Amino acid sequence: MYPVIRALEKIKTGFNVYALTYNGEDLCYAGGSMGMIGSLQMSTHSFFPLSRLGEPLFSLKYMECGLLAGSQAGNLWCMNKETGLGRIIYRCNSPVYDIQALDPYILLALGNGQLHFLSADTFLLSHTSQLSSKALRKLLVRGEEIYIGASDGAVYAYNAIGESKKIAVHAGSVFSLCIPATGHRLYSGSMDAHLQVVLTDTGERLYDIPAHLYTINDLILIGTDEKYLLSASRDKTIKLWASDTMQLLAVLDAAKGVMHRASVNKLIKSDDNRHFISGSDETSLILWLLES
């Protein structure tokens, strides 16, 4: 029997949503156009505006030190998670497309093709790596390995001693990556609208699927044992796939009920692996429930 995905609530944000992050409990933070940031309390479906920073935000990361936000202008902001008050803690003069943590560093993926390593304690630059002549769009950390999606169409694997290699190649910018908690599969989605699956240990390509009409903006694994893969696209749809066989199981679009009516830019899941949130250019979030 196929799983069922049910929309629980559609919430207006007042801004296009370009970034989502989760606090591991009940709060999801959204950021986007006009430098707006807000928080969604998942249990009550309540949305609260937090900040307006005045410059579009492309990335968010919830950390103990505060809520980190990366901007189109190349600024890294740190906000108080309750009051929304913030300050610029690092300037890099290139768009900050993604933020991740790898102890003892904060990692920044930049529009100039550089990966910056900041001290998580002081926010000072430790070192940089020039991986591409084009933008780095997505970071994924697993253990000591960093996977990077870039606008040159490549997916790079970067290890603890600073070595990098290409493990996948698309025909367009790579905006989305995900890896299961166990195993060696890496899923990537691109501006070429293709969904690829490769093995990180051998580089073998298992699947290359024309999955959407336009750019695949985000991917997440969800469900018990991460049996399912969700893909979000500029074509205004979310698709559900079997993560092992890559069989298409369901398509969420406006014709079938509650759905975004513009590009679906971001997905994030809760720790129960059943609830997830989508963010869109429609200035909205949707809270969903996967029933399997």
pLDDT of residue 256: 76
| 233-276 per-position pLDDT tens digit | 999 999 999 999 999 999 999 877 789 999 999 999 999 999 99
Ramachandran class of 53: left when φ > 0, alpha when ψ lies in -120 to 50, beta otherwise: alpha
Contacts within 8 Å (CB) and 24+ apart, 27-34: 28/268, 28/277, 28/285, 29/60, 29/62, 29/67, 29/81, 30/60, 30/279, 30/285, 31/57, 31/59, 31/60, 31/69, 32/56, 32/57, 32/279
Strand (E) or helix (H) holding 60: strand 57-63
Are 14 and 282 in contact, with CB atoms under 8 Å apart? no
* Residues present in the chain in total: 292
Q: Give 129's Cβ-side CA count (13 Å radius).
A: 20
pLDDT of residue 104: 95
CA distance 217 to 214: 9
> At residue 188, what are phi and psi to the nearest 5 degrees?
-135, 145
| 2-29 per-position pLDDT tens digit | 889 999 999 999 999 999 999 989 999 9
| pTM of full prediction above 0.85 | yes
Rg (alpha carbons) of the chain, rounded to whole number:
18
pLDDT of residue 10: 96
Triad 40, 239, 222: Cα angle to 5°: 60
Query: Could you give the percent of the chain with pLDDT greater than 70?
Result: 100
